Structures are given as structure tokens and as C-alpha cells.
């Protein structure tokens, strides 16, 4: 059986296919079908020839096999330092072999590649910082994922994830109506406590267009309310688009480049339509990477920039605190040991390492902030990045992967972890669930709201 009903080389493009694939609980039939999936070697080799240019070719060729990348990889560290977890080995034995064999590889090899690409690498890009030749194996694994996806060798959840993005242009089944209704609901729900609170939809010419992660309308609508409250208190002229509000990209984790492009163009179209001065995205790492860092390239923008300045939530928050748009009541600052999780996707991948610390300086009583070691761009992945959190097949491996973050947090002695990234937030929640080390974790928005010094005219009138 070359192509399965669920496991095949065709992306999910309709709601019907999506529901059918979702109905295959845990991907039982999907993975069974994968055992019989044929490899289209000609297509694979043609794709490699077309897309593997001098950068990647040189990376594969000049790797000196020095092994210095080993210790840089947290998965190598937490898996008993087995040599099979050395980044260089992982990429040479997968992409390297695929190229050497000119795409003439078999099903078993492709399944091994799939396991390596999604359970032995989170594309955190840390190894690239420790290779003397500047070989970024995280980037190469991202590339390998694309090749695997095009051949149908992708974990079940990510096939569905990119299908969601194809069908709903969101990582979850949230329609335009659902989204707009959620915004209205959240505005009403909080109106009493925050008089005048609005979530303006499709306002043309606002200063800020806000975009988020579909999990927020789907599972944590209070996150949208919190964003609205902070914009409201800061006196910002802002809006959300009815279409193009979702900036995440499970398709990036899946390696579905066509879908990545489609989704980011959808967000950019909202920018063209609403003409805001700038855009701000929520506290999510990969969403920022997809829409702001890599997105311009998928969309074919030669300057590598989104159509309008597009910043991460932490940049806006730091600015609002710096300029006094938001004021913190010093008595309500955090007065317990607290640490900060640096998200790979906007710290190692966009250098946003100082703004988060600036925020900390406003919201934490001096002396209580404890850095993880190492930190900033040298920090380790939360353990669940690159889609790892969501793949049932690799749950065990993911749980082992969490141990590095657990050790780092335990070493700080802090019981509170600030995690301004959905993926990191999830991973830290799961690590508490799995290892019970007695920590709490939080996004920035709820913390800041609790300690705001709200101007008189914005407070509810007491009658």
C-alpha cells in the first residue's frame, strides 16, 4: 500500500479530511499506514537539488567531526550523553545520508529520520553557537523536516496541526466568527471592572494591531482580556483584525512551507487592510518567529521585514513601563525569588534578551530576581520546543527532555518562573506535573495586571 488513507504525501486541505484524521485516535492507523508508505526518491532528490544551496551543502561537507557540539545539546546532556545524541551525528546520519544516497532511501530510513528530526532536536539552534564552523544544525533539522513532510513522514499531530492551519488559518478550529465573538465576550465580561474596556475589531488606522495564538480564544480567553486591559490602561489606540489574527505556525514545526507562506500572507493582508502604525504579537515564541522573523522570507519580502514594524509583546511591555504608560505600584512588586525563561525563538533568534530583564527591573523587588545558568542566548530550550510538546508518540522522550529545565530552575531556588512564551509555559507546566518540584509559572500579563497602579479615571466607580 503506497499511500495510506491518513498517512500519505498529500497535505490536509479540507475540514472533512481533518476530522477523519483526528478521528483516528492517537494516530493508530496513521502510524500503521506509515510502515507501508513508499518513498518517492526522484521527487526527494529533485527537492534537495532545488533547495540545498551552498550554505547547507557546505555545512554538511566541512563538519570537522570534532564533537564540540555534543555538550551544547541539552538532549545529549539529559539522555546519558549517549553518542547517538551528538548533534553532528544526528544530522549526518539523517540529512547527510539522504544527500549522499541522492534520495535513494527506504521507508525504515525515513522513519528513523522522522524520529530524529522531531524527538531528538527541538530546533533550538543552540548547537550553532558552539560550532567553530558556525554550522547550525537546528536550521538543518528544520530543512530536513520540510523534506520529510513532503514525503508524508511526519508525526500525526503535526500533520493535523498544519491541516488546521490550511483549513482554518489557525492552529485550532477557531473560525472568524468564533474569534470575533470571543473578543466581544471578553470585553463584556471585564467591562465592569474596567470601565470603557473595548476590544476594537477591524479598526482602520490604529496605532497597534494585535495578533495572538489560537489557543487563547480556544482555551485561555482571559489572555485576550488581559491584553485588552493592559492596552486600555496604557491608553493605546489599538485593534485586532477579524481575519489574520492568528500568528502561530504549527506548519513551521511540521515543515509545511507552503502553508507557512499562506498563513503569514494572511496576517500581512490584515496589516495592509487595517494600516496600523505597527503590530504587536502575544507572549509566544514560535508565533513571533513565524510571523516576524522567518515570515517575511516565506512571503518573499527581500528586505526581510514585515510590512509594518512588528514587535513581540515583551518589547511593547518594556516600552510601556519605561515611558510610564503603565505604572507599577512598588508595594505590589514580586517579593520572592523568581526566575525567567528565555524563549529560544525570540532570544536566540532575535536577540530580545535585554527587554525582558528591563521588565523584571520594574516588576520584581530588587534582589529577588535569580538568573538561570546559563541564560540569554546561551539558555537551554524549555524541553518542549519545535513541536515536541504536542507529539504523543514522543511523550516519553519529551518528559526526559524537561529534566534540563527542571535542573536549571531548581538551581535558582526560585518557586516562580516567568515564561513569556506559550511553548515554554506549557513545558514548565508539564514538568511540574511530571516531576512535582513545587513551582508556579506565569505569563507576564497576569503578573503585571495584579501590580498596576491604575489611574483614578480608569477605576470602576464605587456606588
Partner 1 sequence: MYDFLTGPMLWATFIVSFGGLLVRSVMYVKGLSWQLDRVAYRPQMKYGIRGGLRSILAFIIPFRARLWRVRPGFTLVFFAFHIGLLVTPIFLEAHNVMLKNAFGISLPTLPTGLADVLAWTCLAGGLFLTLRRIAFPEVRIITTFYDYLLLVITVMPFITGLIARYEMGDYNFWLAAHILSGEIWLLALPFTKLSHVVLFFMSRMQLGMDYGIKRGGMKGTDMAW
Considering only 49, 189, 277, 297, the residue that binds partner 1 (CB under 8 A) is: 297
* Minimum gap (Å) between residue 76 Cβ and partner 1: 8
CA dist., res. 366 & res. 326, Å (int): 19
Using the rule CB under 8 A, give the single segment among 166-174, 204-212, 271-279, 370-378 that binds partner 1.
Answer: 370-378
CA distance to 91, 207, 382, per residue, from 127 (Å): 12, 39, 15
Binding footprint of partner 1, residue count (CB under 8 A): 54
Q: Cβ of residue 240: shortest distance to partner 1, in angstroms?
A: 25
**Which phi and psi (to 5°) does residue 15 adopt?**
-60, -35
CA–CA gap between residue 432 and residue 54 (Å, rounded): 44
Site string for partner 1, 71-90 (x = CB under 8 A): xx---x----x-xx-x-xx-
Candidate residues 148, 214, 225, 352; the one interacting with partner 1 per rule CB under 8 A? 352
Nearer to partner 1, 23 or 83 (CB): 83
Q: How many other C-beta atoms are found inside a 10 Å radius of the C-beta of residue 130?
A: 15
Helix locations, 325-416, DSSP H:
354-363, 395-412
- x/- letters, 409..438, toward partner 1 (CB under 8 A): ------------------------------
Q: How far is the CB of 54 from partner 1 (least distance, A)?
A: 3
Q: What is the grid cell recorded at 333?
A: 512588586
For the CB of residue 340, give the shortest distance to partner 1 in the complex, in Å.
16
Cell of 352: 530580545
Residue 259, Cβ neighbours under 10 Å: how many? 26
Could you tell me the strand order of the sheet in which 440-442 lies?
A: 338-340, 416-418, 440-442
Longest dimension (CA), the chain: 78
For partner 1, the binding residue among 325, 353, 395, 415 (CB under 8 A) is 353
Instruction: Tell which positions 94-133 bind partner 1, by CB under 8 A.
Output: 128-133
Q: How far is the CB of 281 from partner 1 (least distance, A)?
A: 14
Q: Check binding of 182 to partner 1 (CB under 8 A).
A: no
* One residue of 376, 395, 415, 429 binding partner 1 per CB under 8 A: 376
Beta strands 208-211; 278-281: pairing state: parallel
Q: Which is nearer to partner 1, 161 or 295 (CB)?
A: 295
Give dist(CA 332, CA 240) in Å, integer.
30
Site for partner 1 in 222-281 (CB under 8 A): none
Tell which positions 126-145 bind partner 1, by CB under 8 A: 128-136
**Distance between CA atoms of residues 253 and 285, nearest Å:** 12
- Taking residues 299 to 318 in sequence order and writing x for each that binds partner 1 by CB under 8 A, - otherwise, the string is -x-xxxx-------------
Shortest distance, CB of residue 50 to partner 1, whole angstroms? Answer: 9
Nearest of 389, 405, 294 to residue 350 by alpha carbon: 294
The residue among 53 and 457 lying less far from partner 1, judged by its C-beta, is 53
Residue (34 or 318) nearer to partner 1, CB: 318
> Which residue, 300 or 366, is less far from partner 1 as judged by CB?
300
Site string for partner 1, 35-74 (x = CB under 8 A): ----------------x-xxx-xxx-xxxxxxxx-xxx--
The one segment of 24-32, 213-221, 289-297, 382-390 that binds partner 1 by CB under 8 A: 289-297
The grid cell for 33 is: 499506514
What proportions of the chain, in percent to the nearest 5, are helix, strand and coil? 55, 5, 40
Which residues neighbour 256 within 8 Å (Cβ) at sequence distance 6 or greater?
11, 146, 149, 162, 165, 166
* Residue closer to partner 1 (CB basis): 29 or 79: 79
- Residue 274's nearest CA partner among 197, 200, 182 is 200
- For CA atoms 452, 456, 458, 460, the dihedral sign is positive
Q: Which is nearer to partner 1, 132 or 413 (CB)?
A: 132
Q: Which is nearer to partner 1, 58 or 361 (CB)?
A: 58
Region binding partner 1 by CB under 8 A among candidate stretches 18-26, 365-373, 376-384, 404-412:
376-384
Listing DSSP states for 142-185 in one string gives HHHHHHHHHTT-S-HHHHHHHHHHHHHSSSSS--HHHHHHHHHH
Q: Rounded to 5 degrees, what angle do the CA atoms 222, 366, 288 make? A: 40
Q: Would you give the end-to-end CA distance of the chain in angstroms?
A: 73
* Min separation Cβ 454 and partner 1, Å: 31
Interface positions, 377-396, toward partner 1 (CB under 8 A): 377-378
3 phi/psi in degrees, rounded to 5: -115, 130
Q: Which residues bind partner 1 (CB under 8 A)?
A: 51, 53-55, 57-59, 61-68, 70-72, 76, 81, 83-84, 86, 88-89, 92, 128-136, 293-294, 297, 300, 302-305, 348-354, 374, 376-378
Amino acid at each position: 500500500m503506497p499511500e495510506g488513507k491518513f498517512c500519505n504525501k498529500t497535505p490536509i486541505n479540507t475540514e472533512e479530511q481533518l476530522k477523519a484524521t483526528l478521528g483516528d485516535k492517537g494516530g493508530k492507523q496513521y502510524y500503521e499506514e506509515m510502515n507501508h508508505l513508499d518513498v518517492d526518491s526522484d521527487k526527494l532528490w529533485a527537492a534537495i537539488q532545488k533547495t540545498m544551496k551552498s550554505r547547507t551543502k557546505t555545512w554538511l561537507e566541512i563538519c570537522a567531526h570534532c564533537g564540540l557540539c555534543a555538550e551544547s545539546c541539552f538532549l545529549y546532556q539529559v539522555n546519558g550523553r549517549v553518542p547517538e545524541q551528538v548533534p553532528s551525528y544526528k544530522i549526518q546520519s539523517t540529512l547527510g545520508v539522504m544527500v549522499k544516497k541522492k534520495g535513494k532511501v527506504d521507508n525504515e530510513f525515513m522513519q528513523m529520520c522522522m524520529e530524529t528530526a522531531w524527538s531528538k532536536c527541538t530546533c533550538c539552534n543552540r548547537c550553532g553557537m558552539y560550532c567553530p564552523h558556525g554550522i547550525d544544525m537546528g536550521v538543518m533539522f528544520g530543512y530536513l523536516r520540510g523534506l520529510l513532510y513532503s514525503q508524508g513522514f511526519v508525526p500525526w499531530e503535526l500533520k493535523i496541526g498544519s491541516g488546521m492551519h490550511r483549513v482554518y488559518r489557525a492552529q485550532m478550529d477557531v473560525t472568524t466568527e468564533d474569534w470575533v465573538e470571543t473578543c466581544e465576550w471578553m470585553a463584556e465580561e471585564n467591562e465592569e471592572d474596567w470601565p470603557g474596556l473595548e476590544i476594537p475589531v477591524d479598526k482602520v488606522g490604529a496605532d497597534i494591531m494585535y495578533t495572538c495564538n489560537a489557543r487563547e480564544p480556544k482555551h485561555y480567553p482571559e489572555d485576550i482580556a488581559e491584553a485588552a486591559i493592559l492596552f486600555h490602561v496604557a491608553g493605546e489606540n489599538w485593534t485586532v483584525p477579524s481575519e489574520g489574527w492568528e500568528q502561530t505556525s504549527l506548519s513551521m514545526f511540521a515543515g509545511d512551507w507552503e502553508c507557512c507562506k499562506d498563513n503569514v500572507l494572511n496576517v500581512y493582508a490584515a496589516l495592509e487592510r487595517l494600516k496600523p502604525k505597527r503590530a504587536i504579537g502575544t507572549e509566544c515564541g514560535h508565533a513571533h518567529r513565524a510571523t516576524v522573523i522567518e515570515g517575511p522570507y516565506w512571503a518573499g519580502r527581500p528586505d526581510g521585514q514585515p510590512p509594518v514594524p512588528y514587535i513581540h509583546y515583551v518589547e511593547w511591555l518594556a516600552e510601556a513601563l519605561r515611558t510610564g504608560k503603565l505604572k507599577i505600584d512598588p508595594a505590589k512588586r514580586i517579593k520572592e525569588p523568581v526566575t525567567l525563561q528565555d524563549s529560544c525563538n525570540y532570544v536566540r533568534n532575535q536577540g530580545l534578551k535585554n527587554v525582558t530583564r528591563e521588565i523584571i527591573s520594574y516588576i520584581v523587588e530588587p534582589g529577588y530576581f535569580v538568573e538561570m545558568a546559563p541564560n540569554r542566548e546561551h539558555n537551554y530550550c524549555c524541553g518542549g520546543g519545535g513541536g515536541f510538546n504536542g507529539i504523543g508518540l514522543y511523550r516519553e522522550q519529551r518528559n526526559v527532555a524537561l529534566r534540563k529545565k527542571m535542573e536549571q530552575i531548581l538551581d535558582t531556588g526560585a518557586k516562580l518562573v516567568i515564561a513569556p512564551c506559550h511553548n515554554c509555559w506549557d513545558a514548565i507546566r508539564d514538568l511540574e506535573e511530571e516531576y512535582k518540584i513545587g513551582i508556579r509559572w506565569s505569563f507576564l500579563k497576569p503578573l503585571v495586571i495584579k501590580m498596576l497602579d491604575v489611574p483614578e479615571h480608569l477605576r470602576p466607580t464605587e456606588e
